[in-house]
Chains A and B, each alone.
Chain A
Amino acid sequence: EVQLVESGGGVVQPGGSLRLSCAASGFTFSRNWMTWVRQAPGKGLEWVANIKQDGSEKWYVDSVKGRFAISRDNAQNSLYLQMNSLRADDTAVYYCARDDPAAGPLDVWGQGTTVTVSS
């Protein structure tokens, strides 16, 4: 069964840092672009960042550039999101998702991990 499981969410003060992880199983992780998507409370989905299979390309939405860093470890079948200089508007559920090269982006999603930025 294809599965993505996020972890690492929590409560952090403004200006703080947090590292999210996403454990993948049931497919060949190294063959897929991977993506982070977030959803603020009561709001819509926001595409955050993605990373190429070998990590050589990374793309970010403007609102997180210079603060967030996406990375992966293909040997560990894991995706990461390092979040620095966190702000209140970063409060959201963060989902990791797989991009299927034969179909489209975000064909499989994790259940999400919640990040709350508050003093």
Chain B
Amino acid sequence: QTVVTQEPSLTVSPGGTVTLTCSSSTGAVTSGNWPNWFQQKPGQAPRALIYTTSNNYYWTPARFSGSLLGGKAALTLSGVQPEDEADYYCLLYDGGAHIWVFGGGTKLTVL
């Protein structure tokens, strides 16, 4: 089955911009992989942030945006806030196996 890869960790300064990426072992990530992004803070259940590549849920702050970038799915945080420190996971659809696959997660530190 597909292996989805994310940066293990990233650090960003408050107010800065950072891009997290999500790649697939089967090739370029496309809209057909229906990329999704989730945020998880310690001791909490994950929370959905972005669906179908670039759509924000109504609860998702506008500083979060999703896109496709260079064959990968990307999550960009602009104007990072201290409360954005969390683990971020991408989720891709593996149409061949009819299953969804999470990336390993990116630990984002705001420092």
* Partner among A95, A103, A106, A110 whose Cβ is within 8 Å of the Cβ of B91: A106
Binds B, one of A9-17, A23-31, A54-62, A75-83: A54-62
With an 8 Å Cβ cutoff, the count of chain B residues facing the other chain is: 25
Contact partners of B52 in chain A: CB under 8 A = 103-104
| A57→B97 CA distance, assembly (Å) | 13
Binds A, one of B13-21, B69-77, B78-86, B99-107: B99-107
Interface of B is mostly: strand
| Binary B-proximity of A36-53 (CB < 8 A = 1, otherwise 0) | 010000001111001000
| Binary B-proximity of A77-102 (CB < 8 A = 1, otherwise 0) | 00000000000000000010000100
Question: Total number of A-B contacts with CB less than 8 angstroms?
Answer: 64
Contact partners of A110 in chain B: CB under 8 A = 45
| A77→B38 CA distance, assembly (Å) | 25
| Nearest CB of A to B34, in Å | 7
Contact partners of A44 in chain B: CB under 8 A = 87, 89, 102-105
Contact partners of B103 in chain A: CB under 8 A = 44
Q: Is A109 a contact of B102 with CB atoms below 8 Å?
A: no
Q: Is A45 a contact of B105 with CB atoms below 8 Å?
A: yes
Contact partners of B51 in chain A: CB under 8 A = 100, 103-105, 107
Contact partners of A60 in chain B: CB under 8 A = 99
Q: Is A105 a contact of B100 with CB atoms below 8 Å?
A: yes
| A108→B87 CA distance, assembly (Å) | 17
* Partner among B57, B87, B99 whose Cβ is within 8 Å of the Cβ of A103: B57
Q: Is B98 a contact of A112 with CB atoms below 8 Å?
A: no
With A95-B46, A111-B45 already in contact, the answer to whether A106 and B38 are too (CB < 8 A) is yes
| A103→B52 CA distance, assembly (Å) | 7
3 closest A-B pairs by beta carbon, nearest first, are A104-B51, A44-B105, A109-B45
Q: Offer 21 A-B interface pairs, CB within 8 angstroms, sorted by A.
A: A37-B46, A44-B89, A44-B104, A45-B89, A47-B91, A47-B100, A50-B99, A61-B1, A62-B1, A95-B46, A100-B51, A103-B52, A104-B34, A104-B55, A105-B34, A105-B51, A106-B38, A106-B48, A107-B48, A110-B45, A111-B45
